[in-house]
Amino acid sequence: MPTGTPIASLIASDASAAGTSIELTGWVRTRRDSKAGISFIQISDGSCFDAFQIVAPSDLANYESEVLKLTTGCAIRCRGELVESRGKGQSLEMKAVEIEVVGWVEDPDSYPLQPKRHSFEYLREVAHLRPRSNTFGAIGRVRHCLAMAVHRYFHENGFLWIHTPIVTANDCEGAGEMFRISTLDMMNAPRNEDGQVDFSQDFFGRESHLTVSGQLNVETWCCALSKVYTFGPTFRAENSNTSRHLAEFWMIEPEIAFADLTDNADLAESMLKYLFKALLEERQDDMAFFQQRIDKTCIDRLEKFIESSFERMEYTEAISKLEKAVAGGKKFEFPVSWGIDLQSEHERYLTEELVGRPVVVMNYPKDIKAFYMRVNDDEKTVAAMDVLAPGIGEIIGGAQREERLDVLDARLDEMGLPKEDYWWYRDLRRYGTVPHAGFGLGFERTIVYATGMANVRDVIPFPRTANNAEF
RNA sequence: UCCCCUGUAGCUCAAUUGGUAGAGCGAGCGGCUGUUAACCGCUAGGUUGCUGGUUCGAGUCCAGCUGGGGGAGCCA
């Protein structure tokens, strides 16, 4: 392997490891000199939260010429011996016999990351370097840990990962504005007789876009393989400028056959618990950092989440709870009555004030929900569910799907959607139809909830938002 | 897209009723110490986001533009 011993494996080892020869590679965090004839170098390699201390004695060949000139950000390779530390703060350290500078920081004064606290807004402007900071290193590891846990959870429970397409030619859900993709010459697009752009001459022979959801595609595989999921990037061209929206984000969308809304909520609960349990077990170092520096309650919050059962609430019940709150003097900007879509302030009240933890709201009025959601027997509501979390709002949106062709068609008509556009989706209801359900979990929102980070732009490596795709 | 806040040194922020800019950190140099977000001293650094206006005088007031943030809508 080209790289040295991961620091993570050194942190995990005890004093008995002293005496072994090792090689370390990484980036300098800080250097402190002691005129006793040594320098202390903190080196970080990303394998864990902690940096590792290298003790550089002044008899190194390049001590004066190079070691004393190391600054934050320099890439180095060190060979030496693992020894018990004589200082406080670490049990082991490396006594270097050779330090090779692999990459200098050409102008230390202009290196954007200093060994001090930076604002997240500033770090977004140096997104190519921010993974070298404590917070973003931790975010990187947490994000990986949760992504792996997603796949492990589904794999262990018999789900198959379906790679749904990124390019789509149908705006199936109307789930927001889409990004068009085209190979047509924008300055000189072919026109049809009506003067409209003639997309039949475009690459796919029709108008095509980046996906806003893999749901409709994954439903087709669900209706053959029973338990499936997608996990990939999703795109929305909405001009939303908030701390919880991205133009490109990652979404987890499981879909289960022979299942109803209760099974769906059970799945969401089971999966989230699994994810947070894995996070607390596998990333104790990073979570301790988030607890200390970002959000004091984050670990406690996850532990409680894992222990307690999901709070479940009917939409109708949620409305009456909100009405009761209004009667009790609670002020909302938007009025509450049965039939409204819950506003952010209402969701906040339910999850933050009334319940104090995530809550599943189920069975919404059909008029405010999508065409594919199953109409309940009361014919007023559909089997939809949202999982609302304190601080972030909706992290999951899901539903039992309408499996009855006649009802589905009626809904399409109601909403003025052309049936022919959904011919293959309708086929599922004609050939061996089956009750099935699924949901979408916003990956970035999940990370925000878990870590206490305030903005989804800071839990994805390169955030894409309106007017921002610099990196 | 709408509402609100904001843009001063590499970074985080100061600058009284408008009176021509300061600190900490970082950086460079020196000192000291098995140091650990080390400590002490010295030095360098800014056409105050851009354009225009009001004024004897604008970082400060006004207008437009532009960047950033928060909230709303939409959603995940």
Distance A238 CA to B2 C1' (A): 14
- List bases in chain B with any atom under 7 Å of a protein Cβ: 1-3, 10-13, 25-28, 32-38, 67-76
Measuring alpha carbon to C1', the residue closest to nucleotide B68 is A121
Distance A458 CA to B74 C1' (A): 21
Tokens 């053959």 appear where?
A224
Q: What are the distances in angstroms from CA A425 to CA A62, A161, A213, A285? A: 69, 20, 14, 46
pLDDT (0 to 100) of residue A342:
94
Distance A185 CA to B63 C1' (A): 40
Nucleotide nearest residue A175, measured CA to C1': B75
The pTM of the full predicted model, rounded to 2 decimals, is: 0.94
Measuring alpha carbon to C1', the residue closest to nucleotide B69 is A121
pLDDT (0 to 100) of residue A88:
77
CA–CA dist A26, A76 (Å, integer): 6
**From the CB of residue A241, how many other CB atoms can be counted at a distance below 10 Å?**
10
Nucleotide nearest residue A109, measured CA to C1': B27
CA–CA dist A373, A41 (Å, integer): 59
Contact call for residues A58 and A48 (beta carbons, < 8 A): no
Q: What is the DSSP string of A382-449?
A: EEEEEEEETTTEEEEEEEEB---HHHHHHHHHHTT--GGGGHHHHHHHHSS---EEEEEEEHHHHHHH
pLDDT (0 to 100) of residue A172:
54
Nucleotide nearest residue A119, measured CA to C1': B12
Distance A452 CA to B4 C1' (A): 25
Distance A293 CA to B14 C1' (A): 25
pLDDT (0 to 100) of residue A158:
98
Phi then psi for A260, rounded to 5 degrees?
-115, -170
ipTM for this prediction: 0.85
The DSSP 8-state label assigned to residue A179 in this structure reads -
Hey, what amino acid is at A446? T
Nucleotide nearest residue A38, measured CA to C1': B34
CA–CA dist A284, A148 (Å, integer): 16
**Beta-carbon-side half-sphere exposure of residue A323 (alpha carbons within 13 Å):** 11
CA–CA dist A232, A166 (Å, integer): 9
Nucleotide nearest residue A470, measured CA to C1': B67
Distance A109 CA to B43 C1' (A): 14
Could you list the pLDDT tens digit for every one of the 471 residues in chain A?
A: 567 899 999 888 877 888 899 999 999 988 888 777 788 999 999 999 999 999 999 888 888 888 888 888 889 999 999 998 888 778 889 999 999 999 888 777 778 888 777 889 889 888 888 999 999 999 999 999 999 999 999 999 999 999 999 998 875 555 568 888 999 988 888 998 888 889 999 999 988 999 999 999 999 999 999 999 999 999 998 888 888 999 999 999 999 999 999 999 999 999 999 999 999 999 999 999 999 888 889 999 999 999 988 889 999 999 999 999 999 988 888 999 999 999 999 999 999 899 988 899 999 999 999 999 999 999 999 999 999 988 888 999 999 999 999 999 999 999 888 898 899 999 999 999 999 999 999 999 999 999 999 899 999 999 998 888 878
pLDDT (0 to 100) of residue A173:
52
Q: What are the distances in angstroms from CA A460 to CA A89, A138, A247, A250? A: 31, 12, 12, 9
Nucleotide nearest residue A53, measured CA to C1': B36
Distance A355 CA to B41 C1' (A): 58
Measuring alpha carbon to C1', the residue closest to nucleotide B76 is A442
pLDDT (0 to 100) of residue A87:
80
Distance A363 CA to B11 C1' (A): 50
Distance A120 CA to B21 C1' (A): 27
